[in-house]
Amino acid sequence: MGFFLFFFKGKKENQPTFIDAKDELDLDDAYIREQYVLSCLEQMKEASEELDRANAEYSLVTSYLTDMEEIEAIEGDEKTDLCNIAKRIHDLRQAHDKFVLTPSRMSEHDFNHMDAMHEEAKEGIDKLLKEEDYRKKVKADLKRVERERDAYSYRRNEVKNSLENIKGIATISIISAVILVIILFLLQVLLELDVVLGYYIAVLAIAILMTVVYVKYSNYTSEKSRIDKTINDLILLQNKVKIRYVNNKNLLDYLYAKYEVSSAAELKDLYEKYLKEKEDRRAFARNEAAYDEEITKLLKRLKAQRIKDPEIWVHQTDAIYDNREMVEIRHSLIQRRQKIRKQVEYNEQIALEASDEIKDLMRKYPQNSESIMDLVNKYGQN
């Protein structure tokens, strides 16, 4: 899904805010405004890429659920025949485990689960390791950015206080100089004293003091400008990191649910056990021929019933004749689809809000709307 689709959608009511501290950005500044637009566009692009991946997985899970409905709709002799085949497969598998195999290294559920996805398990381990490592880095980056932002905010308050103090010093100095001049004038007029030297000293002192005040004020003003720019940059960076952290968390939650593990290490351990178990089963399987024959029959029956992915039912034949197993598998698939839908909704909200932010900028700065739209078009072509 291209992110341009979001740009032309209507504004979504009551959607949560994912872009922090917008009010602290100086959007009247052309550079900050441009960076803010680019930040929104980047969020839209990342959300669009996440949506493409999630929608593909959503279609796959939906296909599995459709196959389940097709199997449950089979009736009469065809259903009886299919159930008998499924039961024979189950019995052969049980006999195989009981008389031939060495003690199992893992549960039957875990073996069947890994067997159903063994082709993608190694890729899943690498994916989980990568995402778990990425999560650590993103969390570290987020903490670092937050610490830097807090430090700069604290320093900005210090600079503001210093500027106020300098203004107070300047005011007191001017008042003191005026009072001193008045005193010298009164001494000269009333007592007829020679106060010329006093005038020179007063002028010199006030000149030196005001020079020092001016230099200090200029330095603090420059430092405040640099701090404000740095804080603006940190806010934009913090927004990017937060979005990536939430997407990473949602993806990890989905992968953990998909593989039924809580970590990459657990999946790796299951996969290694599965490989050894599979090797043993291949070496000692005495009823392989009968088992293969029943599998062939099952696939033939399922294909005749318009099942799109009949191979997956080889690893969950119990569900064909046992409604409890079918319910459990359906529950697992629905959970997976709900997690995908959560990802879709989250990224749709991200993309829509980012597009709304750009539209709001175009309305707020109509004189710059053309340049903003050029940025949108240019970014969309990359």
pLDDT tens digits along 327-336: 998 999 999 9
Tell me, what's the pLDDT at 285? 64
Q: What is the pLDDT of residue 81?
A: 92
Q: How confident is the model at residue 86 (pLDDT cuts 50, 70, 90)?
A: very high
What is the pLDDT, as a whole number, of residue 8?
Answer: 46
Q: HSE, CB side, 13 Å, CA atoms: give it for residue 146.
A: 9
Residue 218, burial from CB neighbour count under 10 angstroms (0-12, 13-18, 19+): exposed
* Banded model confidence at residue 15, pLDDT cuts 50, 70, 90: very low
In this structure, what are the phi and psi dihedrals at residue 168, rounded to the nearest 5 degrees?
-65, -40
Contact, 343 vs 147, CB < 8 A? Answer: no
Q: Is the pLDDT confidence value at 5 over 90?
A: no
- Residues 92-123: pLDDT tens digits? 888 877 776 667 778 888 888 888 888 888 88
pLDDT in the model for residue 102: 66
Q: What is the pLDDT of residue 22?
A: 61
- Confidence check: pLDDT of 184 > 70: yes
Q: How confident is the model at residue 294 (pLDDT cuts 50, 70, 90)?
A: very high
pLDDT of residue 1: 43
- Domains of the chain are 1-74+305-382 (no CATH), 106-260 (1.10.287)
Contact yes or no for 223/159 (Cβ under 8 A)? yes
Residue 11 predicted with pLDDT over 60? no
Q: Residue 331: its pLDDT value, please?
A: 92
Burial bucket for residue 19 (CB in 10 Å: 0-12, 13-18, 19+)? buried
Cα(252)–Cα(232) distance, rounded to whole angstroms?
31
Q: Is the pLDDT of residue 42 over 90?
A: no
pLDDT interval class at 189 (50, 70, 90):
confident
Q: What is the pTM of this model?
A: 0.45
Q: What is the pLDDT of residue 2?
A: 52
156 or 184, which is more confident: 156
- 347-355 mean pLDDT: 87
Q: What percent of the chain has pLDDT over 70?
A: 91
Angle (nearest 5°) at CA 91 between 90 and 95 = 120
How far is residue 228's CA from residue 235's CA, in Å, rounded to a whole number?
A: 11
Q: Is the pLDDT of residue 16 over 50?
A: no
d(CA 235, CA 132) in angstroms, rounded, equals 25
Q: What's the pLDDT band for 381 if we cut at 50, 70, 90? A: low
* Structure confidence at residue 133 as a pLDDT band (50, 70, 90): very high
Mean pLDDT of 73-86: 90
**Tokens standing for 201?**
């000293």
What tokens were used for 113?
Answer: 């689960």
Which of 74-83, 209-218, 276-285, 341-350 is the least confident region?
Answer: 276-285
pLDDT in tens, 231-284: 888 888 888 888 888 898 998 998 898 888 999 999 999 999 888 888 777 777
Q: What is the pLDDT of residue 335?
A: 93
Q: What integer pLDDT is reported at residue 339 of this predicted model?
A: 92
User: Lowest-confidence range among 61-75, 180-194, 217-231?
Assistant: 180-194
Question: Of the candidates 44, 18, 59, 13, which has an alpha carbon nearest to the alpha carbon of residue 341?
Answer: 59
- Whether the pLDDT of residue 21 is over 60: the answer is no
For residues 316, 322, 327 and 328, what is the CA-based torsion angle, rounded to 10 degrees? Answer: -50
Residues 6 or more apart whose Cβ sits within 8 Å of residue 326? 68, 71, 72, 319, 320
How far is residue 265's CA from residue 276's CA, in Å, rounded to a whole number? 17
What is the Cα–Cα distance from 354 to 20, expressed in whole angstroms?
12
